[in-house]
């Protein structure tokens, strides 16, 4: 068997496991067999296979394929509610509070933001600051500067 044939067989096996159409042979994914298949490698194409496979492996999606659509809808709604609540809380804070929020009360740095907002005079001591916090602070900072 050629390497290409093995990859094709692997892809067909994934598609059979993850087929959630009404015509699917199996309405429930047999998780143990699916884990064995995933251990051989999850195909990169088509693009939807990898996230779907990980959603099953991490038990974000149930094994019953008929529940996938409603579960995904519910998860998306919960995510959007979380983002909305987070953004509402951030918008309610003043800029100084946002900047000084950090792990264990440390003052966060705005070095990554200063390069994009050089006209400002914000001085904050150095501290640990991950990329998400930097992007969030930068976005809020720019929004506040634009809105006066």
Residue 38 burial (CB count, 10 A): 17
User: pTM higher than 0.75 for the full model?
Assistant: no
How confident is the model at residue 115, as a pLDDT? 46
Q: Which residues contact 20 (CB under 8 A, 6 or more apart)?
A: 65, 66, 68, 69
Distance in angstroms (rounded) separating the CA atoms of residues 69 and 71: 5
Contact 99, 137 (CB under 8 A): yes
Contact 124, 99 (CB under 8 A): yes
Distance in angstroms (rounded) separating the CA atoms of residues 108 and 98: 9
What's the number of CA atoms in the CB half-sphere (13 Å) around residue 68?
Answer: 16
Question: Tens digit of pLDDT for each residue in 102-113?
Answer: 543 444 444 444
Question: Tens digit of pLDDT for each residue in 12-46?
Answer: 888 888 888 888 788 899 999 999 999 999 988 88
């Amino acid at each position: 068997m050629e390497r290409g044939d093995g990859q094709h067989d692997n892809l067909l096996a994934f598609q059979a496991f993850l087929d959630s159409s009404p015509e699917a042979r199996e309405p429930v994914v047999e998780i143990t067999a699916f884990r064995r298949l995933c251990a051989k490698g999850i195909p990169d194409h088509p693009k939807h296979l990898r996230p779907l496979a990980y959603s099953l492996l991490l038990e974000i999606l149930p094994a019953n394929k008929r529940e996938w659509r409603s579960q995904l809808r519910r998860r998306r709604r919960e995510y959007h509610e979380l983002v909305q609540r987070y953004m509402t809380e951030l918008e309610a804070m003043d800029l100084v509070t946002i900047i000084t929020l950090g792990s264990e009360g440390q003052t966060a740095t705005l070095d990554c933001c200063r390069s994009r907002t050089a006209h400002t005079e914000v001085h904050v001591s150095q501290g640990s600051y991950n990329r998400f916090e930097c992007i969030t602070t930068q976005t809020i900072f720019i929004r506040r500067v634009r809105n006066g």
